[in-house]
Amino acid sequence: MELLLENALVLLDTWPYRFERRNILIDGQFISKVSKNKLKAQEKLDCTNKVILPAFINSHTHSPMSILRGCGEDSSLNTWLKLHIWPLEKKLTDEDIYWGTLLSIIQMFENGIATFNEHYFNINSIVKAIKKANIRSVIGYSMIDLGDFDSKGAKELEIASKIAYELKQDKSFLLAPSINPHAPNTCSKELLRQSAILAKKLNCVLHTHLAETAAEFKFTKEKYGLSPTELLFKTGCLSEKSVLAHSIYVTKKDIKLIKKSKSSIAHCPIANLKLASGSIAPIKEFFENNINLCLGTDGPASNNSLNLLESAKIAILLQKNLYKDASILSADHALYMLTEGGAKALGINSGSIKEGKLADLVFFDLNSPELVPFSNSAAWIIYSASSASITDLLINGKFVLKDKKLLTINKQEVIKKLSLLREKLLLKN
């Protein structure tokens, strides 16, 4: 069935970004026409008071972790993980994972996110929530062997491979597999090497954490004589289908290797700031080297929100402060990371509003006080807008959020269920 979005203020595919009035015709899951001229359709929606952008892409997260939000607050990354998060994660049930994921999806919908790049375990429960909600995801099993491939890594790889092949057969158009070795300091060299081989065989994304902390950098230097980036390069984990979360502790040589491999970097500024896990990622240098950049919230227990607009704003403000130059990067760079950068990193046919692209769109209220007066630039959205102005979200040509109401998830049911499960989880600890 065709849907016509009439007279919307639309983000154009230009640089710098600009907005103009357009009519958008959607046929099934795709955008079939974008025009200044009047169009005909079976169903019409007056969008005179709407601003429409490509829906946002959360390029690195751990969605079930909403059930762990608030645990171990104001701790260092190492303390947070070892004393608070990992002990609780061992006690998580399939039910915990399912409802935790649904709670995160609610937040992603309300923040204009149509796609998320998932890195976790209990994948079947996450997939169940994804299909319930009608959200798009690149998803893979998080592999850790702590340097022991023979007794741990081989089993982890077997689990990841089975899940990836099953996802490859999915016909929902919402799911794509990824191969996810956890990080250079939590995976053996052989697990990294075999992960790269498997990702290449499946022609899918390889999603990993990289150079998140000084401790990680020190670990690989002492064990292998290589930086974390050099280790990933040597094991074949860097390629144009690789998504590298964080990438804070990188040398000039590392940047050259990432550029050479055409890997993408998922920048997660808020989680890095909150956990004080690293300095500020050198995204100015990444852009200067034509490295593709996208944005991630990281998990809802380490951010603690799933507000990607907030991450975009903070990312750019940090660079301005770091270099003491307000012009060092623009709001256009932030909007690119939110949309086109994420689509390129994950190999998804979205990220811009053009004919043939997936109909993944986010709608803002043009009359929202924070968007008045209108300013025809990316800065208007990046510096002024918030989730309070988001009214609708379209994924795969279907509304999941309409007039601020969720259409695929019962919000109150999820909140009630998750709250009860959280109480039970803490009693186990």
What does the domain layout of the chain look like in residue ranges?
2-54+357-406, 56-346
CATH match of 56-346 with 3.30.70.270: no
Could you tell me the CATH superfamily of domain 2-54+357-406? Urease, subunit C, domain 1 (2.30.40.10)
Distance, in Å, from the CA atom of 287 to the CA atom of 268, rounded to the nearest integer, reads 16
Among the listed residues 381, 383, 411, 412, the one whose alpha carbon sits nearest the alpha carbon of residue 112: 381
- Maximum alpha-carbon separation in the chain: 65
Domains 2-54+357-406 and 56-346 share a fold: no
27 — phi, psi (to 5°)?
-125, 105
The count of C-alpha atoms lying within 13 angstroms of the C-alpha of 206, restricted to the half-sphere facing its C-beta, is 30
Tokens of 146: 């702590």
Distance, in Å, from the CA atom of 186 to the CA atom of 192, rounded to the nearest integer, reads 10
pLDDT tens by residue, the chain, 429 residues = 899 999 999 999 999 999 999 999 999 999 999 999 999 998 999 999 999 999 999 999 999 999 999 999 998 888 898 999 999 999 999 999 999 999 999 999 999 999 999 999 999 999 999 999 999 999 999 999 999 999 999 999 999 999 999 999 998 889 999 999 999 999 999 999 999 999 999 999 999 999 999 999 999 999 999 999 999 999 999 999 999 999 999 999 999 999 999 999 999 999 999 988 767 999 999 999 999 999 999 999 999 999 999 999 999 999 999 999 999 999 999 999 999 999 999 999 999 999 999 999 999 999 999 999 999 999 999 999 999 999 999 999 999 999 999 999 999 999 999 999 999 999 987
Beta-carbon contacts of 269 under 8 Å, excluding residues fewer than 6 positions away, are 280, 281, 311, 314, 315, 318
Distance, in Å, from the CA atom of 112 to the CA atom of 308, rounded to the nearest integer, reads 8
Count CB atoms within 10 A of the CB of residue 375. Answer: 13
Q: Is 262 left (phi over 0), alpha (psi -120 to 50) or beta?
A: left
Distance, in Å, from the CA atom of 354 to the CA atom of 35, rounded to the nearest integer, reads 10
Distance, in Å, from the CA atom of 88 to the CA atom of 108, rounded to the nearest integer, reads 24
List C-alpha distances in Å: 255 to 185, 224, 339, 341.
19, 19, 23, 18
**Contact at 8 Å (CB) between 243 and 263?**
yes
